[in-house]
Amino acid sequence: MKRYQAQILLLAALVISFVISRFSDQFDSYYLDIALTAGISIVLAVSLNLVNGHTGQFSLGHAGLMAVGAYGSAVVSLELRPGLAGIFGTGEFGQGMAFITALLTGGLLAAVFGWMIGVPSLRLRGDYLAIVTLGFNEIIRVILQNTKPGSVFGGALGLSGIPSQATIFWVFGAAAVCVYVVTSMVNSTWGRGFLAVRDDEVAASASGISTTRYKVTAFVVGAFFAGIGGGLYAHQKGAINPEGFNFLKSFDVVVIVILGGMGSTVGVIAAAIILTVLNEYLRDYEQYRMIIFSLLLIIMMLLRPQGLLPASLFEKKGRAA
Amino acid sequence: MLARLLSRAVLPLGITLAFLTAGCSKKENTNEIVIGEVASLTGGTAAWGKAQNDGVKMAVEEINAAGGLLGKKVKLLTEDDQSKNGEAGTVTKKLVSREKVVGMLGEISSSKSLEMAPICQKEGVPMISPGSTNTKVTEVGDFIFRVCFIDPFQGTVMAKFALSKGWKNMAVLTDVKEDYSVGLSQFFKEYYSKNDGKVAVEQSFSKGDKDFKSQLTAIKAANVDAIFLPGYYTEIGLIAKQARELGITVPMCGGDGWDDASLMQVAGSAVDGCFFSNHFSTEDKSQAIQAFVKKYEAARGTKPSTFVALGYDAAMLLFHGIKTAGTTDGKAVRDVLAKTKDFPGITGSITLDEKRNATKAAVILTIDKGEVKYVETVQP
Q: Give tens-digit pLDDT for B303-351.
A: 888 899 999 999 999 999 999 999 999 999 999 999 999 999 998 889 9
- Identify whether residues B230 and B161 lie together within a single domain: yes
- Segment A211-225, tens digit of pLDDT: 989 999 999 999 999
Across B178-201, average pLDDT: 89
B98 in A contact zone (CB under 8 Å):
yes
The stretch A93-116 carries a mean pLDDT of 94
**How high is the pLDDT of residue A87?**
84
pLDDT, tens digit, 9 for 90 and up, residues B58-106: 999 999 999 989 999 999 999 998 888 888 999 999 999 888 999 999 8
Banded pLDDT at A164 (limits 50, 70, 90): confident
Q: Does A27 touch chain B (CB under 8 A)?
A: yes
Listed residues B278, B304, B321: the one ending a domain: B278
Based on the domain organization, do B132 and B186 belong to the same domain?
no
Residues A66/A229, Cβ–Cβ less than 8 Å: yes
Whether residue B52 contacts residue B131, with contact meaning beta carbons closer than 8 Å, is answered with yes
Question: Does residue B271 register a pLDDT over 70?
Answer: yes
Mean pLDDT estimate for chain B: 87
Is residue B3 scored above 80 in pLDDT? no
Q: What is the pLDDT of residue B25?
A: 43
Name the nearest CA neighbour of A271 among A298, A290, A253, A286.
A253
* DSSP H helices in B165-271: 179-194, 213-222, 233-245, 261-267
* Stretch A51-75: mean pLDDT: 94
- b or e along A37-67 (b: 16 or more beta carbons within 10 Å of the residue's beta carbon)? bbbbbbbbbbbbbbbbbbbbbbbbbbbbbbb
Q: Rounded to an integer, what distance in angstroms lies between the CA atom of residue A242 and that of residue A246? A: 7
SS3 B273: coil
Q: In angstroms, rounded to a whole number, what is the distance separating the alpha carbons of residues B119 and A239?
A: 11
Within an 8 Å CB–CB cutoff, is residue A156 touching chain B? Answer: yes
Q: Which run of H or E residues covers position B352? A: strand B348-352
Mean pLDDT of A244-263: 90
Give A-chain residues touching B183 at CB under 8 angstroms. Answer: 149
Among chain B residues, the shortest Cα distance to A36 is held by B16
Question: Domain check: are B128 and B188 in the same one?
Answer: no
Number of domains in chain A: 1
Structural domain boundaries, residue B263: 152-278
- Whether B369 is covered by a domain: the verdict is no
Range of the domain at A67: 40-246
Distance in angstroms (rounded) separating the CA atoms of residues B187 and B149: 14
**Which residues contact residue A65 at a Cβ distance below 8 angstroms, ignoring those fewer than 6 apart?**
A110, A113, A114, A140, A222, A223, A226, A227, A230
Residue B187 is assigned to a structural domain of this protein:
yes
In CATH, what number is assigned to the domain containing residue B336? 3.40.50.2300
Q: Is residue A288 part of a domain?
A: no
Helix axes A211-237, A192-199, angle to 10 degrees: 110
Q: Is B378 inside any structural domain? A: no
Asked if A250 has any chain B CB less than 8 Å from its own CB, the reply is no
Higher pLDDT, B340 or B151: B340
Does residue B21 register a pLDDT over 80? no
Are B134 and A157 within 8 A, CB to CB? yes
Is there a single domain that holds both residue B291 and residue B199? no
Q: Is the pLDDT of residue B9 over 80?
A: no
Do both B171 and B246 map to the same domain?
yes
Mean pLDDT of the region B11-35: 59
Gyration radius from chain A CA atoms: 19
Q: Which helix (H) or strand (E) holds B291?
A: helix B287-300
pLDDT tens by residue, B108-139:
988 899 999 999 999 999 999 998 888 889 99
Specify whether B88 is located in the same domain as B162: no
**What pLDDT, on the 0 to 100 scale, is given for residue A90?**
79
Query: Does B186 map to a domain?
Result: yes
Co-location of B83 and B173 in the same domain = no
Does A244 contact B5 at a Cβ distance shorter than 8 Å?
A: no
Rounded to whole angstroms, how far apart are CA atoms A290 and A271? 17
| Residues B157 and B272 both lie in one domain | yes
Calpha distance A19→A1 (Å, rounded) = 24
- What is the total count of domains within chain B? 2
Kindly report, residue by residue over A84-100, the tens digit of the pLDDT: 888 887 788 888 899 99
Is A296 contained in some domain? Answer: no
Of A13, A34, A239, the CB nearest to B13: A13
Task: Identify whether residues B344 and B264 lie together within a single domain.
Answer: no
Same domain, B65 and B117: yes
pLDDT band at A321; cut points 50, 70, 90: very low
